[in-house]
Copies of this chain bind each other. A is one copy, B any other.
Amino acid sequence: MTMLLSRRTALGAALGLAGGRLFTPSSGACAARFAMLHQPGIATPPLPFLYFIAFDLTTEKRTDVAALMQRWTRAADALMTGGSVPGLVDSGEAEGLATKDLTLTFGFGPGLFTRDDKDRYGLAARRPAPLADLPRFNGDQLVPAHTGGDLCVQSCAGDPQTAFHAVRILARLAYDIATPRWVQTGFAPDFGKGRTPRNLMGFKDGTINPDIRDPGIAARVLWASPADQPWMQGGSYLVARIIRMALEHWDRTKVGFQEETMGRQKRSGAPIGGHGEFEPLTLKQTDRDGNPITAQGAHARLGAPEENDGAQILRRAYAYDNGLNYTAERWPPWRQGNEFDAGLMFLAYQQDPRTGFTKIFEQMSKFDMMNQFTTHVGGGLFACPGRRPDGYIGQQLLEM
């Protein structure tokens, strides 16, 4: 369930082949270049169901956090191999399930290092620079109750009961140390092998994801830099955003307008004026009047590396559906009433959010035509460290 980032090539190749991918350090020697495993759920193939949970730490002791991470790592190793957690009576609801696939990915939020300007656990000096608080973006409507968190767990599984079962056990193990802050579940149904899934807007989502099977791309885009904190080697940074879609509004627009907004064709996923999904975007082409055929404010343009000095992130998004909530429409005829509380649970992994998500979303939050239909209502920023094969997640940070 893990992948190795190591100089020990034989072991690395073995584990790497088992996981389908092998990453090797991109350059140079580094004092911290001990053997480190990547956590699963970052570069491993996405599983169809998500249970994402953020926790607030309630303890005042660093040793409690270390004990929790040790317990969680051991539990995760057991759960991901279909076993039960030593010393704990299992709640039983996953026993006999047809699918066992599960990845558990753990992250540390800014609050582990500093909260209310206080160095809670003596770790502030080791807060990695890429874990800088995200700026407030144009249009942000982040609800505090669904935002932030000191710790996070991304649980992905073949069915929702398995994903929830794992989190429920982890939450039990956190009793008296950390308390659940927010949750967002999600789903990414099966559109067939190798085919890009469609999000709730009906468009293919994920076409331009970087090809992290290329170790050079993964080392540059996804994994923490060799210059990052030693405890982050083999790790990655997660930006989570709960992005509500005004589906009732979207559904009442014409497909031509939707395509202009998206910068892609709806059925095929091809660029505007193009034919195949994987053709390059038509960013420079103009029509006979000299207007760009992909609109300046098109979503695909604003997200493209070409328009962001090459910035790339690895998106692992899920659709989310929270039922209904009471909404005042922001489109004619400005009704008020219950509307679908659904959209995208955006999860993106990257080497550095400052040059990844923030770089891309800075422009997007201002100019994306899609912003008429989407609102960021929650989320968080988390450092997901690597791990020594014989250690626990976060050990090098928490025991320093």
CA distance A267 to B89 in the complex (A): 12
Q: Give the distance to chain B from A9, nearest Cβ to Cβ, in Å.
A: 39
- Contact A180 B93, beta carbon cutoff 8 Å: no
Apart from A91-B247, A93-B200, A179-B337: 12 A-B pairs, beta carbons within 8 A:
A89-B255, A92-B267, A95-B267, A97-B190, A159-B187, A160-B187, A162-B189, A172-B248, A172-B251, A180-B337, A182-B323, A322-B323
A244-289 residues with Cβ-Cβ distance < 8 A to B are 247-248, 250-251, 254-255, 266-267
Q: Give the distance to chain B from A70, nearest Cβ to Cβ, in Å.
A: 21
Show 30 A/B contacts (Cβ-Cβ < 8 Å), sorted by A.
A51-B321, A89-B254, A89-B255, A91-B201, A91-B202, A91-B247, A91-B251, A92-B198, A92-B202, A92-B203, A94-B198, A95-B198, A95-B267, A96-B191, A96-B195, A96-B198, A98-B189, A98-B191, A99-B190, A159-B187, A159-B189, A160-B187, A160-B189, A160-B321, A168-B251, A179-B337, A180-B339, A182-B323, A182-B338, A183-B323
CA distance A244 to B248 in the complex (A): 29
- Among B164, B201, B267, B323, which residue has its beta carbon within 8 angstroms of that of A342? B164
> Does residue A367 face the partner (Cβ distance < 8 Å to B)?
no
Q: Give the distance to chain B from A75, nearest Cβ to Cβ, in Å.
A: 14
CA distance A99 to B340 in the complex (A): 23
- What are the residues of chain B within 8 A of A95 when measuring CB–CB? 198, 202, 267
- What are the residues of chain B within 8 A of A192 when measuring CB–CB? 96, 98
> Does residue A32 face the partner (Cβ distance < 8 Å to B)?
no
CA distance A96 to B194 in the complex (A): 12
- Contact B191 A97, beta carbon cutoff 8 Å: yes
CA distance A107 to B190 in the complex (A): 30
> Does residue A18 face the partner (Cβ distance < 8 Å to B)?
no
A321-380 residues with Cβ-Cβ distance < 8 A to B are 321-324, 337-340, 342
A199-223 residues with Cβ-Cβ distance < 8 A to B are 199-203
